[in-house]
Structure 1
Amino acid sequence: MPEFAFHHGGVSVPDLDAAIAWYGDVLGFELERRFTIDAANANAAFVRKGDLRFELFEVPGAASLPDDRRYPPRDLQTHGNKHVAFRIADLDAFLAEVEAKSADVAMVVREKFGAGCFLRDCAGNLIEFVVED
């Protein structure tokens, strides 16, 4: 198998400027660049934090994220991409930080198999953060 590495995750959002601000304010991403995708009638941006990137898309008239996609257990009942996950060192410290920034915590998991949480971004997209032993 040829070598490959993760490059970015992509999410559709209703307001590109609000999403750039949310990913910056809540998670510390910085705007890397803005661009348009003519074939999709989309305004887009890459936000970056170290080697991590998100591509954000704003498409006029796009449908809102369905409610079932906003809660992790219900989201699993629909085929397709679910979320991206990032490793964190301390769940309680992470939760305290993002809650202080008024982040929308969708779910906290503390199980024998591991601990973590899911946040909803400003458009309701799920992002997982996991503690790795």
Structure 2
Amino acid sequence: MSTAQSPQPTAAPALRLNNIALAVANLDAMVAWYVDVLGLAIAAKGHFDTVGADYAMLDGMGFRLELVSRPGTPKVAAKRTPPPEHLDETGWKALVLESGDLAGTTASFARLGVEIVWAQAQLTPTISSTMIRDPEGNLIHILGQPE
């Protein structure tokens, strides 16, 4: 009789991304910004009784963004450490998207008055990027081809 044990799994089985959650101070304003600026669509809105939070699920570009806010509670603003020093703080850094027309996307952000951290910076020989902030200071990094 063998005493060998079955190998233990090294990862949780059958996981897949459901959404990316972002806590916000002003849910309505942030929903409007993500719809108007990034073109996401409202898939659902509601309230999580368990945590006392209102939420909106926004869909688009192959992912779902969950904006969530607990009304009536004090908020701690997102740090606005400028890149590249933001990489010296551990934790999630940015929502990273990709554009087939980085110049056009960047021009659209400028027309909409979006806060642009940098525009069309060449990161590597094959990747350029524009980095923006949403109204509450969260970073959004748009990758594209160098021109």
- Superposition TM-score, scaled by structure 1 size: 0.86
Is 1:88 the counterpart of 2:73? The answer is no
- What's 1:36 paired with? 47
- What's 2:142 paired with? 129
Is 1:47 the counterpart of 2:58? The answer is yes
How many angstroms apart in 1 are the aligned matches of 2:40 and 2:48?
A: 22
Residue of 53, 59, 84 corresponding to 1:73: 84
- Superposition TM-score, scaled by structure 2 size: 0.79
Larger Cα-atom Rg: 2
SS at match of 1:117: strand
Q: Deviations over 1:80-125 (max 9, x none)?
A: 1111211111211110111111111122321334201111111111
Letter in 2 for 1:62: K
Structure number with the higher helix fraction is 1
In structure 2, the gaps of 5 or more residues are 1-10
Letter in 1 for 2:29: A
1:105-124 correspondence runs (5 A): 105-108=116-119, 109-113=121-125, 114-124=127-137
Q: Judge which range, 30-39 or 93-102, deviates more.
A: 30-39
In structure 1, the gaps of 5 or more residues are none
How many angstroms apart in 1 are the aligned matches of 2:89 and 2:124?
A: 26
Does 1 or 2 have the higher relative contact order (CA < 8 Å, sep 6+)? 1
Is 1:19 the counterpart of 2:30? The answer is yes
Q: Is the 8 A contact 1:72 1:126 kept in 2?
A: no
1:74 shift after superposition = 2.1
- What's 2:74 paired with? 61
Q: Deviations over 1:47-89 (max 9, x none)?
A: 1115321100112312111232xx2312211111111211111
Number of residues of Structure 1 aligned to a counterpart in Structure 2: 131
